[in-house]
Amino acid sequence: MPLRLALHDRRRPLTEAELAGVPWLSHLKPDEYDRAAPELRVTRAEPGELIFRMGRPVTYWFGVVDGLLKMSTETADGQTITYSGLTPGGWFGEGTVLKREPYRYNVSALRRSLVAGLPADTFHWLLDHSIGFNRFIMSQLNERLGQFIGALEADRTPNPEQRVARSIAALVNPVLFPGVGEVLRITQQELAYLVGLSRQRVNEALHALAAQGLLRIEYGGLRILDLAALRSRQF
DNA sequence: TCATTAAATTGTT
DNA sequence: AACAATTTAATGA
């Protein structure tokens, strides 16, 4: 039986390099680290695959080790609303884990990704025992609030250039996604899915932003040159 | 390591 | 949506 399970269960412990990319581990004291780190598991998600679905009970707190995920819901008439993209170093769903409520949105992979999970019980243990962990969660919640306000603002403008700029700024937020680095790995097609524009329109907007020196277009990614300007872009 | 080929991504209409 | 051009990844000598 255990052998059969192992064949279907793709979860495995994290490598040293992957553990180093988990931002909140560095906030823990040694005994807290020793308790939490062994509980972490990582799994591969193929494009379109759901990490979790709306209404399902919470089992894990999830984080992106590598790849690109999107957070979305569907309206009654089947239209998809994308709230946010999730890039490496980003951990999400803590609000839901905190309240032990069912998920209120879907998270799926936009491309082949590595997703880590911390069991909900371990999450609560850290919350009860670790001050460093609480600080991390607090800053996480605060930063995400700012991100959603930014998303609301961006949604109120029909200007594609501004919407694309805001989306990119959100994806490279160093607090929420510390693993991204100076080059955001994302194709123009993936960005188009996230922003809700056509690839052509995104391509056009990117060239406009590049011409203003805010970023540089590279094959399969974007080099961020001026994050502050991207974030505050007004028209 | 290099050359060839396939696949992915971008640029343009 | 379709197509061409460009870049990367994979393959095998």
Provide the whole-model pTM.
0.87
Domain membership flag for residue A153: no
Domain membership flag for residue A91: yes
Whether residues A65 and A170 share a domain: the answer is no
Mean pLDDT of chain A: 89
Q: Which residue has the higher pLDDT, A234 or A41?
A: A41
Whether residues A19 and A64 share a domain: the answer is yes
- Kindly report, residue by residue over A136-175, the tens digit of the pLDDT: 999 999 999 998 888 888 778 878 899 999 999 999 999 9
Whether residues A78 and A176 share a domain: the answer is no
- Kindly report, residue by residue over A7-55, the tens digit of the pLDDT: 445 788 888 888 988 999 999 999 999 999 999 999 989 888 899 888 8
> Residues A98, A151, A143, A17: what is their CA dihedral angle, to the nearest 10 degrees?
80
Closest residue (Cα, C1') to B12: A200
Judge whether residue A220 contacts strand C, using its CB and a 7 Å cut-off.
yes
If we measure between CA atoms, which residue out of A126, A108, A11, A103 comes closest to residue A68?
A108
Whether residues A12 and A128 share a domain: the answer is yes
A217: left (phi over 0), alpha (psi -120 to 50) or beta: beta
Whether residues A24 and A123 share a domain: the answer is yes
- Kindly report, residue by residue over A77-99, the tens digit of the pLDDT: 777 888 889 999 999 999 899 99
C-alpha angle A127-A130-A134 in degrees, rounded to nearest 5: 55
Boundary-marking domain end, from A145, A172, A200: A145
Which CATH number do you get for residue A44? 2.60.120.10
Closest residue (Cα, C1') to B10: A219
Whether residues A75 and A132 share a domain: the answer is yes
What is the arithmetic mean of pLDDT over A180-206? 94
pLDDT of res. A233: 76
Task: Say how far A187 CA is from B2 C1', in Å.
Answer: 29
Whether residues A35 and A106 share a domain: the answer is yes
Whether residues A172 and A136 share a domain: the answer is no
Number of domains in chain A: 2
Task: Say how far A6 CA is from C2 C1', in Å.
Answer: 45
Question: Residue A217 carries which side chain, given as an amino acid letter?
Answer: I
Residue A1 has pLDDT above 70, yes or no: no
User: Distance between CA atoms of A118 and A122, rounded to whole angstroms?
Assistant: 7
Owning domain of residue A188: 159-231
Boundary-marking domain end, from A100, A122, A145: A145
Which CATH number do you get for residue A215? 1.10.10.10
Whether residues A16 and A87 share a domain: the answer is yes
Lowest mean pLDDT among A27-36, A124-133, A173-182: A173-182
Residue A184 has pLDDT above 90, yes or no: yes
Task: Say how far A179 CA is from B2 C1', in Å.
Answer: 35
Q: Which residue has the higher pLDDT, A184 or A152?
A: A184
C-alpha angle A72-A23-A51 in degrees, rounded to nearest 5: 30
Boundary-marking domain end, from A145, A180, A214: A145
